[in-house]
Chains A and B, each alone.
Chain A
């Protein structure tokens, strides 16, 4: 497992006072395990992994939710219908990814270990800003891969226990971190999703209302973007919705999402463009 794992003793690095960062630690003992450790030569490699598409996030009083469609595409082919691109990262945060799926999933997994590792080493969790900055560094670490076409951008949502608010952070491919207010969307269908949320969002939405807005917006994204998948009633595949409040992280059950998503689809049968907003 480790080069120095002989005679039953772990390498000295395991015992040193050292760092509380998992990534930093791993890069000192087993750098080959980190994503993007060895860059393949040349470009034009984007076709190697499918693209994960639309993510939406919105805040509501006392919390925040993030939802993602389930489709992954490779060119004009649907590579996966029930992909998961929303990840619980700890009790009060979740990350969703858009872009190169293979890289993104690994990034989310590493980030999750990173947060938990810090918490266990230090005996307390990182602040939400700390979590957001850490993710920024990790995205920047992927820059080499991004320049070869493996672009991945995460969206971080979390409940800030200090201010008791749900917060949303978006990133660009070089690790730039931007705090978003009220709502945000990333991925290929984000233009349509964001337009949809813009018209439906209200400050006083409750959790169910916010979920409904998220599902409507994903439907709108799927409606106009071929790379985004809508709710699949026949196969029972629905968007993933993660809600974070002061009670912690909760992923809505398939039944809960199915009920709301079916309402959305049925509403569209009557009015294909979805709910409209009155002008007064």
Chain B
């Protein structure tokens, strides 16, 4: 006689399983900066990307099991390219992609025995910062429209709490990168030093022609990291920097 397991229990078990799987890996953050959207992931590999391009204005960031989110990435690229070829390049939107991902993950979660241990972000850069869109899609297919910044991964709550204090939509690229690495370095409550070789960084650059997605690595990345650190220090002289950063944020808002 087969065991009876209550649906609630089944879902809970699957969710716990997925959460545990995701928590084993490192986090990623996606946030706005003055020139577009910045995507940063803690990733040792230079070839197995956690961040990639989906379409002209749309980027993809993921954490969890590589083969599973890689599958989702390929699906997104195919979907976007077919859509763009069928209609027009402008007719491919981040919202469509986020929906497809949500539906796919939702179906996998409810129908198959093993849920996918992934959490992904779809970000679309608009003509102005008001039109930027950032969606977070979790393993069970829930979709959240995030404002300004988002962290995904095992300890995303912790990371996003740290990021919240330093986030400013009008920050320069180096300042935004500094905020992002600061938050990533404090995941799981620990405090690490993240170097260029640990980071995978890409931007969706608003002012760029055609395809907005660009990876930042090598010397440029090292320079940006140093610039961000130097500015963080001069702005405030050490630990008081957080108060200073939120001060500039309000000033920027007032300007708008």
Point out residues on A near B: beta carbons under 8 Å. Answer: 1, 7-10, 14-15, 17, 22, 25-26, 29-30, 33, 88, 109-110, 113, 116-117, 120-121, 123
Contact = CB atoms under 8 A, between A and B. Distances in A.
Given A109-B85, A120-B52, A15 B107 contact: no
Contacts of B52: 120, 123
Contacts of A26: 82, 85
Nearest 10 A/B pairs, CB to CB: A8-B103, A14-B75, A120-B77, A117-B81, A113-B85, A14-B78, A15-B75, A15-B71, A9-B107, A113-B81
Central interface residue in B47, B82, B86, B100, by most chain A CB within 10 Å: B82
A92 to B, nearest CB: 13
10 contacts: A7-B103, A8-B107, A9-B107, A14-B74, A14-B79, A17-B74, A22-B85, A29-B82, A120-B54, A121-B77
B107 A7 contact: yes
B210 to A, nearest CB: 8
Contacts, number: 58
Nearest to A7: B107
Interface of B: 47, 49, 52-54, 71, 74-75, 77-79, 81-86, 99-100, 103-104, 106-107, 210-211
Nearest to B104: A9
A83 to B, nearest CB: 18
Contacts of A10: 75, 79, 100, 104
B57 to A, nearest CB: 14
A128 B229 CA distance: 41
A158 B76 CA distance: 28
B79 to A, nearest CB: 6
Given A7-B107, A15-B74, 18 more contacts: A1-B83, A1-B86, A8-B103, A8-B107, A10-B75, A10-B100, A10-B104, A14-B75, A14-B78, A15-B104, A30-B82, A33-B82, A33-B85, A117-B77, A117-B81, A120-B52, A120-B81, A123-B49
